[in-house]
Structure 1
């Protein structure tokens, strides 16, 4: 009996743009995640408010270009990847759904372990829950993908105090546990909440990614240049402008507004960031059409091809550096030095991913998720079609 489940895309068939986008945006993921570990007498939006002028400048840069902007781009690429999987399957709709549910299950389990052992702010389980529910959208008509995406985006833009960008809370015991017992007892309560609520914010870019994947927009940019250019210009512009009320406040350029004002500008920061994620993806794909494949480009693309492994590598660094019963540097590092740590961590993953590429090795977690998804002994070496 011939299987209707087609395996992962061969390396030689992969488009440069999406891999380059994933690889580069892992830098933004590192910058976005690491500053939330910092302590201080006053913390706002994950940034200590007692830093130097350099810290304030770095805070503005991260709040403007990074926070709430990188994760939506990954949501888009996640939906895009699901559309690619669906397109390759030749069996029934139910067979495809079961394949995606297996992928969902491994993301949830891996995300739970990741949250318990390394980083409580894990997004893998949230992606798994999103995929578990999102399989019902793979047969939706295009207009419904947009209608639901816009509806949920509008909901997230409503005034409220749930935005992390305006939170005055510092890292809690789940984030910085003093011992293993506290770590497990606190995180087992927090992790399910993040996994269940996270898909709400990721849903709009995921649905847009499904639509874009059906048309292979990121794989065939030459056929969609006008759309990509418009998305890049509009998305990045909206993201930058929409971030300014929060970014200027966090950088202490303007005085902290009232609570009611905060409840307006926080959701604005998040909603504009979702649109910005689409703009970032379009911009990087456009850049990929212009650059030549050199050592740096190939290394960053290799990081994107191993984004799951590289994302987990980052969490190992955060756990070692910030956990109180390990190095405990959350009171020592500043916003600026933490940004340097995040950049260095990303560069290390780029070097390691490039070494794996040269050794024709997929990456351990990419191998794991493919084996479970496709129920085959997928080789640890990238498939090359000749």
Structure 2
């Protein structure tokens, strides 16, 4: 999510497996496809988050310093990654809700207290994450939206999908109206004001512990309105995931192979077209005033791109169910919350005054290379860790809070 000043600066500087059967783990069931998709989504989330945490690349004198390779890298991230992977995580969150409810029923435990404890733990994790590490945290939003998800838990799948479509259209219309008014009635940000904002942000992030926390608190406050707006988009993905979970669509993907092929063929062109337009508005050649117009189109077409990614990945990995790639992604998915928080810890140590204070020091191309290295390390470490434990630290804590006992 975006703060007002952070948004202006970013706008100006941006020009499955063969078998669909569940794997049993103790008394509970794991659907491997969910873990695969979570592991895949981790990379997309990292590629987007790093640009916010690392800041715009500045030269020795504090001026913007952008090479063409960084511009290309930034443009590609916007077109291929931005606004797609938080939808995937949100979809999987909604799908997992149905599994958690079924687990409570099998255990003969009331679901409401379990769910309340779970979202309370998520809220506290998100609050700590947002205040101390990354103000673009989504766990806080997920915790609040979980209340809505619980309230509509008995909704019919078809009704849920229709409600999701209405929410997406509503968000897109709001962004389009705001964006068009921005184009019509505002001027591009003054370069001097831009540089002053960049320097202020850099000083805050390179400062001491208190300076970083104050900057994060300010960003959380300024992004509240955008959190509400984009929260509706996340809720839409929750509802689609809830509907998919009720239909058990990921429990046996082999039955849906022909449908998944059709989704890839039909959805990919739509998603690409919208994503390219969004990149043109956010990263150029259109100026920063077009940011929200591009975002409106992105919101409308991102679900198509996300669906194409999901189906394409499952089809690809289905041909090699026992391959190393599938095993690595599934392992990362089982540790998704731990990996997500670890990514923020690493980035905070690298880019803020907590550690190296490299805020604004590197361009996008270098940042992406670092992201791929970190992600590869997480894939390797996660596989080794799961040979010895069933849960990562964050997953263990969340499960303990949910069950109100030691897992």
TM-score, normalised relative to structure 2:
0.80
Indicate yes or no: 2:50 matched with 1:34: yes
- Find the counterpart in structure 2 of residue 307 from structure 1: 336
- Find the counterpart in structure 2 of residue 139 from structure 1: 154
Indicate yes or no: 2:53 matched with 1:23: no
Report 1:17-166 matches (<5 A): 17-36=33-52, 37-40=54-57, 50-90=65-105, 95-158=110-173, 159-161=176-178
Mapped partners of 2:262, 2:210: distance in 1: 51
Verify the 8 A CA contact 1:107 1:125 in the aligned structure 2: yes
Structure number with the higher helix fraction is: 2
Which structure 2 segments of 5+ residues have no match? 1-22
Q: What do residues 211-244 of structure 1 show as CA deviations (whole Å, max 9, x unaligned)?
A: 1111111121112223323333333332211011
Mapped partners of 1:258, 1:354: distance in 2: 42
Verify the 8 A CA contact 1:73 1:280 in the aligned structure 2: no
Indicate yes or no: 2:227 matched with 1:200: no
C-alpha change, 1:98 and 1:162, in structure 2 (3 Å) is farther
Which structure 1 segments of 5+ residues have no match? 1-7, 43-47, 379-386
Q: How many positions carry a matched residue from both structures?
A: 361
C-alpha change, 1:221 and 1:91, in structure 2 (3 Å) is closer
Following superposition, the deviation at residue 190 of structure 1 comes to 4.0
Mapped partners of 1:15, 1:93: distance in 2: 21
Verify the 8 A CA contact 1:177 1:323 in the aligned structure 2: yes
- Find the counterpart in structure 2 of residue 216 from structure 1: 248
Q: Secondary structure at the match of 1:224?
A: helix
Verify the 8 A CA contact 1:129 1:195 in the aligned structure 2: no
Verify the 8 A CA contact 2:157 2:242 in the aligned structure 1: no
Q: What do residues 77-132 of structure 1 show as CA deviations (whole Å, max 9, x unaligned)?
A: 11111111123332899932332221111100000011122111111111111112
- Superposed CA RMSD: 3.1
Mapped partners of 2:168, 2:389: distance in 1: 40
Following superposition, the deviation at residue 147 of structure 1 comes to 2.1
Mapped partners of 1:228, 1:49: distance in 2: 44
Verify the 8 A CA contact 1:63 1:243 in the aligned structure 2: yes
Indicate yes or no: 2:212 matched with 1:183: yes
- Find the counterpart in structure 2 of residue 282 from structure 1: 311
Following superposition, the deviation at residue 142 of structure 1 comes to 2.0
